[in-house]
Structure 1
Amino acid sequence: MTGGDARTGGSDGDDRPGAMSGASAPTTLPLPEVSPQLAARLTDGLERVERLIVERSRHEDAFIEEANLHLARAGGKRFRPMLTLLAAELGDGIDDAVVAAAAGVELTHLASLYHDDVMDQAELRRGAPSANARYDNSTAILVGDLLFGTASDIIADLGPEAVKIQAQTFIRLCSGQIRDDRPCPPEQDPRAYYRGVLADKTGVLVATAARYGAMFGGCSAATVAQVTEFGERLGVAFQLADDLIDVVSDRDELGKEPGTDLREGKRTLPVLGALASDDPADAELQRLLTSDLDDDGVQRALQLLRPHPAVAAAREETVAVGREAIDALAEVPDSDAKRALVALMESVVHRAS
């Protein structure tokens, strides 16, 4: 960020009340268009969000508190709360309600990760042991539920409209996760099904993050609607990029083993593109992509998939979705915050470049 890098969380070893003792300080995605003044406000806002997350995750039972904070302490880019803060800057700026909404969204996201890792049987998350690996599946599920409850408790203080949005977001998020775990029905187009899953399992919570920021930042109804549309498309682009990263990155870059989607048999955009190929040279790859893969099979599939034209096509589609998101902001007046939102989108779509 121009004028300063917005960071969240307490310093390692900080044992002050509300600080993340032993936590790695999460960093945001780079936003080169941010002015020094906006960078300072975002840094302060993210620190307030982080303190609230920790404060509301405290528990009289030391084990529950440790499990609550396990993934928060592992780091992360705090992408969603950053979006909430930026959307608020399109209006009156960051206040206590905006900070609370950002914390509620991030806790909802963290809760979903506990459940994701159980479903994926993941061993690592953000370079640290996943909650299910550190504890067990039952504990990870229950802590995820507890964090969902904590997020809803925070959002409840923001009024009935915010509660309704939270409930509707949760319904779509869970629906997307259920459909993500099931094959595309034979009567549906696989690519359309995949995009619908992404809109629900990822896009909706990002849309809510943006919507809350604009709402509680005092923006007009028109701007709230435009920012919400931007957020949903941003979320889809974010997940498209994540799916690409799972193919093209290595373990050190990811913080976990690549090829997770291949192990689970998920039909992400690169996989769908490869399966649609009629080139006889793709026969081995297509056989692997429709098989139950062991570790050797995953490595071979990645070796064949990474240079495949389907990966380049998936990158192009990711960039196209990013352009659609930026177009949704066309009628939002120009400002430092709007330019930062555009920069955020660009940083998202180019992560898998």
Structure 2
Amino acid sequence: MARSPLDLVPTMGRDLDRLELRLEASVQTQDPFLTEVAGHLIRAGGKRVRPGFVIAAAAIGQDPPTPATDDVLTGGVAVELVHLGSLYHDDVMDEAQVRRNVASVNAKWGNLRAILAGDFLLARASELAASLGTEVAGLLAATIGKLCEGQVRELQDTGNPARSETSYTDSIEGKTASLLATSCRIGGLVGGLDRVTVDALTEFGRYYGLAFQVVDDILDIVATDEHLGKPSGNDLHEGIYTLPVIRALDSPCGPQLTELLGGAASDANVRSALQLVRASGGVEEALDVARHYVHQASASLNSLAPTTATAALQVATDHLIERARVPLGDR
């Protein structure tokens, strides 16, 4: 099975295979234990969306695409290490037990080691970005800051049933969209593309990231644990009210849902809250918002040359809505 639609382009699929080897090599240290902990989620696999976008963005001006250069692969490894480092830290904050169908790092080795390993991944990502020049290094450093800002915004509204859509959007801009925008921008920069194209790719990554997070939040409401690779309904359990919940709170189900959310965060209450959100129409409304972001992402691609890489990014974008529709069935 393909990791992502980019795998359907033979050259890009081979580039992702090369990147996988580089990713594993990037966390090798003289300390076997640190190497094991830092590589835990790498070995668990993943779609590698962010490095895939680095590779695709760099190939926008080529048709057919040529094999990715060392600099392109280095950029891809750097953004994936930032993503993984953020997951290590997120799982500590959420007290998560499972990630990608394996034990989370904090569950396996404890919070302290998970935090330090996450710091190591961010440091290694920064080191790799520095090898690509000051612009890429500064861009990645600023993006790590945006990830933190987005997470802080989310924490500030934890347990707040009055959370606004503006607060939600600001949070996902930082914690998700910023890194996907940066992935596309780094690909364009190291690929030597003109600034107009680099800016269009950055805009594409931003809108894709917004859609990606909305879909992810929908899946947390409607998908199974097996589908997600982690427990479903976890956001509600943690008091994180995402777009489907915000819309449900503004529906006729709102008062009953507010009462449930104000009670104990028991498994029974979470199950009841999930049922209310699903019945409220909030999921369908959130999916409409995701479709809007997908449309904006596609519009950003319209200004790019109609190459194989552009088509691959479009297929990846179309795939987002399909991700949400599978567990939704024919709604």
TM-score by length of 1: 0.87
2:258 — aligned with what?
A: 286
Q: Which residue, out of 304, 315, 322, partners 1:332?
A: 304
Residue 152 in structure 1 maps to residue 126 in structure 2: yes
What secondary structure sits across from 1:158 in the alignment? coil
- What one-letter code is carried by the residue in structure 1 that aligns with 2:305? P
Residue 55 in structure 1 maps to residue 5 in structure 2: no
Does the 8 A contact of 2:61 with 2:307 survive in 1?
no
What secondary structure sits across from 2:317 in the alignment? helix
Structure 1, unmatched stretches of 5+, are 6-26
Residue 287 of structure 1 deviates from its aligned partner by 1.5
Does the 8 A contact of 1:265 with 1:290 survive in 2?
no
Does the 8 A contact of 1:155 with 1:166 survive in 2?
yes
Does the 8 A contact of 2:58 with 2:193 survive in 1?
yes
- What one-letter code is carried by the residue in structure 1 that aligns with 2:23? I
1:176 — aligned with what?
A: 150
Distance 1:307 1:70 in 2: 38
Structure 2, unmatched stretches of 5+, are 326-331
Deviations 1:113-148 (A, max 9, x none): 000100111000000000000010011001000000
Residue 339 of structure 1 deviates from its aligned partner by 1.2
1:40 — aligned with what?
A: 10
- What one-letter code is carried by the residue in structure 1 that aligns with 2:321? V
- What one-letter code is carried by the residue in structure 2 that aligns with 1:304? L
Distance 1:209 1:283 in 2: 41
Root-mean-square deviation (Å): 1.9
Residue 30 in structure 1 maps to residue 5 in structure 2: yes
Distance 2:312 2:81 in 1: 24
- What one-letter code is carried by the residue in structure 2 that aligns with 1:83? F
Residue 300 in structure 1 maps to residue 272 in structure 2: yes
1:263 — aligned with what?
A: 237
Residue 282 of structure 1 deviates from its aligned partner by 4.6
Residue 111 in structure 1 maps to residue 85 in structure 2: yes
C-alpha distance 292-182 of structure 1, shift in aligned 2 (>3 A): farther
Q: Which residue, out of 201, 213, 224, partners 1:250?
A: 224
1:83 — aligned with what?
A: 53
Residue 344 in structure 1 maps to residue 316 in structure 2: yes
- What one-letter code is carried by the residue in structure 2 that aligns with 1:328? S
Residue 189 of structure 1 deviates from its aligned partner by 7.5
Residue 321 in structure 1 maps to residue 293 in structure 2: yes
Deviations 1:265-285 (A, max 9, x none): 1120011011112x2x55322
Does the 8 A contact of 1:123 with 1:132 survive in 2?
yes
- What one-letter code is carried by the residue in structure 1 that aligns with 2:286? A
Does the 8 A contact of 2:6 with 2:12 survive in 1?
no
Distance 2:182 2:261 in 1: 34
Alignment of 1:126-165 (within 5 A): 126-165=100-139
Deviates more, 1:298-307 or 1:194-203: 298-307
1:65 — aligned with what?
A: 35
Residue 222 in structure 1 maps to residue 196 in structure 2: yes
Does the 8 A contact of 2:157 with 2:163 survive in 1?
no
Does the 8 A contact of 2:249 with 2:255 survive in 1?
no
Deviations 1:2-36 (A, max 9, x none): xxx6xxxxxxxxxxxxxxxxxxxxx522359x5xx
Deviations 1:78-104 (A, max 9, x none): 111111111111035521110000000
Residue 258 of structure 1 deviates from its aligned partner by 0.6
Residue 301 of structure 1 deviates from its aligned partner by 1.2
- What one-letter code is carried by the residue in structure 1 that aligns with 2:53? L
Does the 8 A contact of 1:274 with 1:286 survive in 2?
no
Report percent identity of matched pairs. 38
Distance 2:26 2:226 in 1: 32
Does the 8 A contact of 2:6 with 2:13 survive in 1?
no
TM-score by length of 2: 0.92
Q: Which has the higher helix share?
A: 2
Residue 160 of structure 1 deviates from its aligned partner by 0.7
Distance 1:129 1:307 in 2: 32
2:329 — aligned with what?
A: none
How many residues end up aligned between the 2 structures? 320
- What one-letter code is carried by the residue in structure 1 that aligns with 2:289? E
What secondary structure sits across from 2:246 in the alignment? helix
Residue 204 in structure 1 maps to residue 181 in structure 2: no
- What one-letter code is carried by the residue in structure 1 that aligns with 2:74? A
- What one-letter code is carried by the residue in structure 2 that aligns with 1:342? Q
Distance 1:31 1:287 in 2: 45
Distance 1:320 1:332 in 2: 20
2:328 — aligned with what?
A: none
Distance 1:224 1:312 in 2: 33
